A and B are shown apart, each in its own frame.
Chain A
Amino acid sequence: MSATEHAVSLGLPELPAEPYPAEVRERLDADAAEIVARYPQSRSALLPLLHLVQSEEGFVSRTGIRYCAERLELTTAEVTAVATFYTMYRRRPAGEYHVGVCTNTLCAVLGGDEIFDELQRHLGIGNNETTEDGSISLEHIECNAACDYAPVVMVNWEFFDNQDPESAKRLVDDLRAGAEVRPTRGARLCGFKDTARILAGFPDERPGAVDESGAGGAPSMAGLRLAHGESLPGASGPKVVSPRQQETADQDGSDSNGAEGDEA
């Protein structure tokens, strides 16, 4: 390729980004004013404003950066420095659904690596890439604070707990088919831009969204159930109430049983 083919490589200054069209700007201004009003100092509004411009375009464009800079009286360089520091801000257009597979140690060991591998193969894309139809972006993510539900997959930052390669493939197939998809913890999926708007601090307006999916799955309730005298699947021992589990039990829950190799 010729040296002049890519202007960016020459380090020449870029022309300033185009501003948003007036009607977009007017709409965003109302939201931005609300965001700025939440903080004692305006610069604190920068992260939510970046979420806001991401909710407008699906990523943080140079136009979005310019907008944030103007609203907060910062330079575009200052805003860019912040926008590029945080992993949730996309720097280029990407899929309607962000599919993140946890491959931090615990999830990886329990199967996250295999899930991520299978999804790449199934979708024909690699890490940080988007399917041609624009429906799905795939990324391996770090620990998402759901280790008791490992392996975990996040879609638009809603929890899909206890996944395996088959369930994960079904999930992305459903997403691509436009089916309604519900997370194990969270509300029925909305698009990436709608998610970004919630992140900007605007409550989810969909009726019932807050209440969907209950208080948590079995892991969240495990200790509570034991404390109430119930028993857990595969856990043996004398439980006072509701012996609803399969028999198991060759140990009685008394001490001295090594934790190692406790049989179910």
Chain B
Amino acid sequence: MTATHPEKLLSPVLSATWGEEKPWTLATYRAHDGYKGLHEALRMNPDDVIALVKDAGLRGRGGAGFPTGMKWQFIPQGDGKPHYLVVNADESEPGTCKDIPLLFANPHSLIEGMIIASWAIRCSHAFIYLRGETVPVLRRLHAAVAEAYEAGYLGRDVLGSGFDLDITVHAGAGAYICGEETALLDSLEGRRGQPRLRPPFPAVAGLYACPTVVNNVESIASVPAILHKGKDWFRTLGSEKSPGFTLYSLSGHVTNPGQYEAPLGVTLRQLLDISGGVREGHTLKFWTPGGSSTPMFTDKHLDVALDYEGVGAAGSMLGTKALQVFDETTCVVRAVTRWTQFYAHESCGKCTPCREGTYWLVQLLRRIEAGEGVPGDLEKLNDIADNINGKSFCALGDGAASPIFSSLQYFRDEYEQHLRERGCPFDPAASTVWAGTRGRRNPAGKARSTEDDPPGDRGPDGRNGDFDPSENGVLA
């Protein structure tokens, strides 16, 4: 049931030091038990580290929720090939904003986790693939990695263990699709970021066709605390199948958007209760549990436990725990149209259902939003989405279909209203942060539906930007 006190509901671990003096520095990190987990790990046999993480029940925080320890265990040992760890820091799934603030405030938690993971899977060269559009984070990663080398946590003979490890920080160049783990690997190999056929999975043939673990930032950053405090402690948080703590990112029409770190399984109602709720004078209309690729929810889902099983049972996915909240001023058709434009822009062009399907979805949605829809459009919308979903090469296509299906499921009336009234019944000015504030004019006559800037051109080269359903995850 709902916890009354935020102090009891929340459980800052990754975010625990963010309020300290320069929490991004090694000195502050070490002053708060930083690198103790690493010392613990280096005292253990690598296989035991894998077993520990597996027993703790840590699951991927990038969206798919695959057990982290199991991913590590899939790496064949004694195969004579180099092994690689690649951290997916290409956070770009719409609504997702957890890894970037985490890395900005506490990059050493990732680096420590990477060293532990590398020890476990016998990797001597690890990579951080950071999306390029976040230079402030890149700056701090550069500094943190340099500090870690200086302190002997990286380089030759890490802390006298006989184990060598290098970390390369690699900045991407704008492509959501690179959050898909195999597209990320292609990108890291200096190619266009397009997904690979699986199998073989990265654990067998990943980076440079060698065994590779690809993990999300938050997954890896959660590892040091497990080593330091133990799996039993980790399991005291969250639920049986979804143990541990995680960052919930609240955004949109809420009083206090932000990062709320809590045990898995809290509900949106609880988070809204403690944080001031939906913005004053408004009511919840729809929300995403884990980014735009996860089917949307409504006010009927306020009490869904936000863990992998709970959200799945309610018909969506936990995804990246990106809780984007929209109030009653928001037009669902507008929201879905914009997300669909995003998927069309970011479709890598490799497979036909996604490349063509997302394009036609945009054409239809724009028409409907502008009041020019015709009878049969909604059925066609559903049909196209159905031809993308499950029939695309990677999860970007599934992600593109999610908002269509779920919005038609919950808000079909609103689509029909657009058709019937030949236009959008909503005033976009009412949805803005500054709506209703004194002295601020809302420029009149903003033909919003026509100003929808096209989401970039799909050049003949079929290029597209960054995708990251898997940032993570929905794909990974």
- Is the CB–CB distance between B275 and A222 below 8 Å? yes
Given contacts A223-B12, A223-B260, contact A260 B171 (CB under 8 A): no
- Determine the residue in chain A with the shortest Cβ distance to B249: A148
Cα–Cα, bound, A187→B138 (Å): 11
Comparing B17-25, B34-42, B54-62, B377-385, the segment that makes contact with chain A is B17-25
- Is the CB–CB distance between A259 and B272 below 8 Å? yes
- Is the CB–CB distance between A216 and B170 below 8 Å? no
Cα–Cα, bound, A41→B428 (Å): 50
CB of A233, distance to nearest CB on chain B (Å): 7
Q: B235-262: which have CB < 8 Å to A? A: 248-253, 255-262
CB of B387 within 8 A of chain A?
Answer: no
- Is the CB–CB distance between A224 and B15 below 8 Å? yes
Given contacts A109-B428, A142-B92, contact A232 B256 (CB under 8 A): yes
CB of A75 within 8 A of chain B?
Answer: no
- Is the CB–CB distance between B132 and A227 below 8 Å? no
Pick from B190, B278, B284: contact of A43, CB below 8 A: B190
A to B contact number (C-beta, < 8 Å): 378
- Determine the residue in chain B with the shortest Cβ distance to A44: B190
CB of A104 within 8 A of chain B?
Answer: yes
Interface range, A side: 35 or more
Chain A residues within 8 Å of B335, by CB: 105, 109
CB of B80 within 8 A of chain A?
Answer: no
- Is the CB–CB distance between A227 and B173 below 8 Å? no
Report the count of interface residues on B (CB-CB < 8 A): 125
CB of B139 within 8 A of chain A?
Answer: yes
Pick from A86, A195, A239, A255: contact of B465, CB below 8 A: A86
Chain B residues within 8 Å of A87, by CB: 173-175, 456, 463-466
Q: B176-214: which have CB < 8 Å to A? A: 176, 187-193, 208
- Is the CB–CB distance between A199 and B10 below 8 Å? no
- Determine the residue in chain B with the shortest Cβ distance to A121: B443
CB of B395, distance to nearest CB on chain A (Å): 17
- Is the CB–CB distance between A150 and B251 below 8 Å? yes
CB of A33 within 8 A of chain B?
Answer: no
Per-residue contact bits, chain B 246-289, to A (CB 8 Å; 1 contact, 0 not): 00111111011111111000001110111111111111100000
Given contacts A151-B433, A201-B171, contact A105 B94 (CB under 8 A): yes
Cα–Cα, bound, A32→B381 (Å): 49
Q: A65-95: which have CB < 8 Å to B? A: 72, 81-82, 84-89
Chain A residues within 8 Å of B19, by CB: 215, 221, 224-225, 228
Comparing B152-160, B410-418, B445-453, the segment that makes contact with chain A is B445-453
CB of B48 within 8 A of chain A?
Answer: no
Chain A residues within 8 Å of B104, by CB: 185, 215-216, 220
- Is the CB–CB distance between A262 and B273 below 8 Å? yes
- Is the CB–CB distance between A234 and B173 below 8 Å? no
Q: Which residues of B contact A (CB under 8 A)?
A: 1-7, 10-12, 15-16, 18-19, 22-24, 82, 91-97, 99-101, 104-105, 125, 131-136, 138-140, 142-143, 146, 168-176, 187-193, 208, 248-253, 255-262, 268-270, 272-284, 292, 299, 302, 322, 324, 326, 330, 334-335, 338-339, 342, 345-346, 428-429, 431-434, 440, 442-443, 446, 448, 451, 453, 455-456, 459, 461, 463-466
11 new A-B contacts, CB < 8 A, other than A85-B193, A108-B338, A210-B24, are A41-B189, A44-B188, A104-B342, A221-B258, A222-B257, A227-B7, A237-B274, A255-B4, A260-B302, A261-B283, A264-B279
9 contacts between A and B (CB under 8 A): A85-B193, A87-B175, A113-B448, A114-B428, A218-B256, A223-B259, A226-B7, A234-B256, A259-B268
